[in-house]
Structures are given as C-alpha cells and as structure tokens.
Amino acid sequence: MLEVKNLTKKFKDATVVDNLSFEVKEGEVVGLLGENGAGKTTTLRMISTMLKITSGEVIVNDLSATNQGNKVRGEIGILFGGDVGLYDRLSARENIKYFANLFGMSDDEANKRIDDLASEFGMIEYINKKVGKFSRGMKQKVSIARSIVHNPSVMLFDEPCTGLDVRATRIIHDFIRKCQDDKKVILFSSHSMTEVEKLCDRVIIIHKGKLLENSTIKELKEKYSNQDLEDVFFSLIGGDSNE
C-alpha cells in the first residue's frame, strides 16, 4: 500500500506540491495526470525519497519515507522516461548488478536474479554484452530489469514511454501489466490519454500542485458527461484541447 498524506513541497516561495493526499492499493494501476509543471515528477521524487518532503507524509507498506528512508527505498522501483541512463561501457549484467549491489544484494544473489530476469525478458543472448550498441528496445529491457532487480513491491513510472518507438513502448506496457499481475502498487505518470485509458484503473489529476480529481475513468466520464478523457482533463485544468 502507498499512502500520500497532505504532501507538500516548497522551493523558496513557490509551492510545487500543495497538500496532496491519495492512496494506491496492491494490484492497482493509478495514473498521475497533469500539465508540465503540475508537480507530478516532484511528487514521485518525494515518494521515492529522492527529494526531501517539506511537510506531510508518505507511507510505503507501513514505512515512513521521512523516518525510514533506507527501508522505503528497498520497497520502491523507479522507471523514468527519456534517457534510460545506462553505462555504455558496461555489459547489461554489470549495469543491473551495480544497482543490485546498491540494494545490498550479494554478487551471487544478484547474478541469480539477473539470470532469471534475462530469461524472463528475453535478454539471455546479450546479457553479457556492452550496452553501448544496443537498440532502444534492448536498452529499455535492461532499464526495466535494473528497476526491479531488488523485487520492489511499489513501482513508480514517470512518463516511461517518452521518446520510445512502438516496439519499445509495447515492452513497457507489457511490463506494467505484469507488475499488476504480480500485485505490485503502481503509480504511473503520462501525458498520453490513450495510454492512460489503456493501462490505468484510476486517475489522479493535479493542477498547480493541487488535487483536482481522484476517480476511475468511467466515473470521470459520467461525472462530466463526456466520453473523451482528454476533453475532461482540459475542462478541469481550464485549458482548451484544441490549442
């Protein structure tokens, strides 16, 4: 279970996240929606303990992100979009193993886990090759394996399909569905309404750091008498979907 309680983040005089509260349960995919600058990435970074919380609390499986940060980090896997951030001169195994060691796994534990992940994601043929010449899809698989090598119970996805082609995007979508099948807690940030409707059970819409809606997609469409999620989104944030 992920619980966000009155979460606030201020940078000097600017409030980026403003008293935000919500929950995500096991096996649930929840979309975090908002314009650029709405506070989505800041929220995800506070949940992951990468960014200090100004006020409020994040609870991950009964652990406090403020007071038990090391334990919380062991419960969380993070997959960002854009540059996957792999070390080109290292092999796929070495990239994944580096993060496994950071999470306190021994070399033997890490190698066994990597072998299992290589089999699961079809990486056996290139797991020991340097990633510098890998395709984007191959790199994405390595990035996925790196994010779950420690078997986290909570997955945070920050626009994970940004810049990806159709094949690499499918890899991400299949992985999100697998996380759901494995009963992980999944919080998913995306600008694609089509992607959100395809993957999410529920959506949280924020604007200027404040919570606007926390509902299923069906409930949102019924509430605003509109079957187009994008239209609903723009009506909520006060924008024009035709701009």
- Report the 10 Å Cβ neighbour count for 206: 24
Cα distance between residue 57 and residue 59, in whole Å: 6
Which residues 6+ apart lie within 8 Å of 189 measured at CB?
31, 32, 33, 40, 41, 44, 157, 158, 159
Which residues 6+ apart lie within 8 Å of 208 measured at CB?
18, 37, 38, 39
Identify whether the C-beta of residue 210 lies closer than 8 Å to the C-beta of residue 198.
Answer: no
The answer to whether residue 159 scores a pLDDT higher than 50 is yes
Average pLDDT of span 147-176: 88
* H-type alpha helices, the chain: 40-47, 69-75, 92-102, 107-120, 136-148, 166-181, 193-199, 217-223, 229-237
Predicted pLDDT of residue 243: 36
Cα distance between residue 242 and residue 21, in whole Å: 31
The answer to whether residue 83 scores a pLDDT higher than 70 is no
Which residue's structure tokens are 């309404």?
A: 193
Percent of the chain residues topping a pLDDT of 70: 97
pLDDT in tens, 8-54: 999 988 999 999 999 999 999 999 999 988 999 999 999 999 999 99
Claim: this prediction has a pTM higher than 0.85: yes
* H-type alpha helices, 27-135: 40-47, 69-75, 92-102, 107-120
pLDDT in tens, 213-239: 999 999 999 999 999 999 999 989 886
